[in-house]
Amino acid sequence: MKKIGFLSFGHWSASPYSQVRTGSDALIQSIELAEAVEDLGADGAYFRVHHFAQQLASPFPLLAAVGARTKRIEIGTAVIDMRYENPLYMVEDAGAADLIAGGRLQLGISRGSPEQVVDGFRYFGYTPAEGKTDADMARQHAEVFLEALSGAGFAEPNPSPMFPNPPGLLRAEPHSAGLRDRIWWGAGSRATAEWTAKQGMNMQSSTLMTEDAGVPFHELQAEQIRLFREAWAAAGHEREPRVSVSRSIFALVDDRDRAYFGRGGQDVDQVGYLDAQTKAIFGRSYAAEPDVLVNELAKDTAIQAADTLLLTVPNQLGVEYNAHAIESILKHVAPELGWR
């Protein structure tokens, strides 16, 4: 069995070909798609966070709304860019959203990816300490966030408070017990996977890695997963870790599927640069008839090694089409691979 959810970047555009024209459309359709996939029997609704772009950004209002409108599915992010976050405010937001959802949040956090503006986190009031990088700052924010999520008190109480305080140091409220175990780190390399395990976070691995070892993407990602699990065991954590991978996968079962995705062209890995210094390998997409998909996906060693698969969706095609695309995987592909 494998958990299967969707991952939406929440794009909107005034293009005549887009069914998501405004930020309001993106948010409301995200909620509607989460409801639809829950009804279909999928397992999760995940959202990407980008700043200064016509995409989903501040995640917690959306997560809370999805939590209020669904009953069963996991609700998460992949990922929140910690360079932009006030970690203590984030503890309060995350705790509130998780309580609304009944403990179903699965929060993916990380350094994030190259953004639309130069050093956008500076506009949010955050600057790396002297001698540190923005990646260092993201990890430092994450460490504060994780520590505060534990529920331990850390703030000195006012001796003359407006309302009575419990004894001892105070913690951020509302506190959601168990959320600390449902934090994931988006790891883009093998070294970061090992760091993630040492921190006691689950791991999310996307369709790119910031290194190229000269092997197919899925093999490099499978090695990353193996190193993560070995580092987890060495760290002595008591619970079992979780690992997700994301893929673009489309079963061609009708004329719409063939019109949108039947032309091919993205069925091989690609190597490129995220920026002038960062070489990356980008994993292939899958689009084929269900029987062909089953054979191809059975060879993807990283998907086989992960317990959770996030299907990236073309959200601008609308709720109805994306629900259809996910249902096709659940109905025609997942059972044949033993995922259902």
**Rounded Cα distance, 243 and 160, in Å:** 47
State the 10-residue block means of pLDDT for the chain, 340 residues long. 96 95 98 98 98 96 98 98 98 98 98 90 97 97 98 95 94 97 96 97 89 88 98 98 97 97 71 56 87 97 98 97 98 97
Three-state DSSP class for residue 186: strand
CA distance 180 to 184: 9
Crossing angle (nearest 10°) for helices 190-198 and 217-235: 20
**Among 175, 32, 42, residue whose Cα is nearest residue 103:** 175
Q: For the whole model, what pTM was predicted?
A: 0.95
What is the number of other CB atoms lying within 10 angstroms of the CB of residue 164?
A: 6
* Number of Cα atoms under 13 Å in the Cβ half of residue 146: 21
Residue 13: other Cβ atoms inside 10 A: 16
Q: What is the pLDDT of residues 7-45, one digit of tens each?
A: 999 999 999 999 999 999 999 999 999 999 999 999 999
Distance CA 305, CA 279 (A): 25
At 335, list the tokens: 């059972």
pLDDT the model gives residue 300: 97
pLDDT score recorded for residue 249: 97
C-alpha pair distances (Å), 136 with each of 82, 83, 200, 296, 297: 10, 9, 18, 38, 36
- How high is the pLDDT of residue 274? 52
pLDDT 10s digits, 181-200: 999 999 999 999 999 999 99
What pLDDT was estimated at residue 259? 95
Token code pair at residue 220:
């490099």
- In the chain, alpha helices (H): 23-40, 59-69, 87-100, 134-149, 190-198, 217-235, 255-261, 290-297, 301-305, 319-328
pLDDT score at 305 = 97
Note the Cα 30 to chain centre separation in Å: 14
Q: How far apart are CA 280 and CA 211, in angstroms?
A: 5
